[in-house]
Amino acid sequence: MTTIRDFMTDDHRRCDDVFAEVEQAVAGGDWAAAAAAFARFQESVLQHFAAEESLLFPAFEQKTGMRMGPTQVMRSEHVQMRELMQSAAAALAAQDADAYAGEAETLLIMMQQHNMKEENILYPMCDQHLAYETDTLVPQLRAEMPGAGE
């Protein structure tokens, strides 16, 4: 049985890998490849956020009664990362490597900190409190995040 932590952490790594492709394309001056990779990255991250916000977080909140705790912090950080992705996309569209580098660095730091909190605190809590729901919840999460688990 796949745990929530393992499944969601694997998806973090998948998103990280696509983000690295963007950086390599920008460094090589291949703006078309950078834009295509960024579109894949942004779509994957937004699907990940949506799955957490529509399935995982509500299930956790329902089970624990914690609505103002870790899930609220994660939702707030999702808002900030969505804004950073929009700024990074605009820098890519303008083919401004310096602006993109600044936005991407901020986004990377925020993602790393966010992912560590989820992977080391929230997901283990989900595995603990949602142990009996994992067999149905993980397939639902997979359905909301095409490409996850590959």
What is the 8-class DSSP label of residue 30? -
114 with 9: CB under 8 angstroms? Answer: no
| C-alpha dihedral sign at 82, 86, 89, 95 | negative
40 with 18: CB under 8 angstroms? Answer: yes
- Grade residue 150 by pLDDT with cuts at 50, 70 and 90: low
- Grade residue 146 by pLDDT with cuts at 50, 70 and 90: confident
Closest to 61 (Cα-Cα) out of 111, 53, 8: 53
**Which CATH superfamily, name and number, covers 4-144?**
nmb1532 protein domain like (1.20.120.520)
How confident is the model over 95-141, as pLDDT tens digits? 999 999 999 999 999 999 999 999 999 999 999 999 999 999 999 99
Distance in angstroms (rounded) separating the CA atoms of residues 144 and 107 = 23
Tell me the pTM: 0.94
Distance in angstroms (rounded) separating the CA atoms of residues 92 and 86 = 10
Residue-range domain boundaries for the chain: 4-144
57 with 74: CB under 8 angstroms? Answer: yes
Residues 6+ apart with CB under 8 A from 87: 103
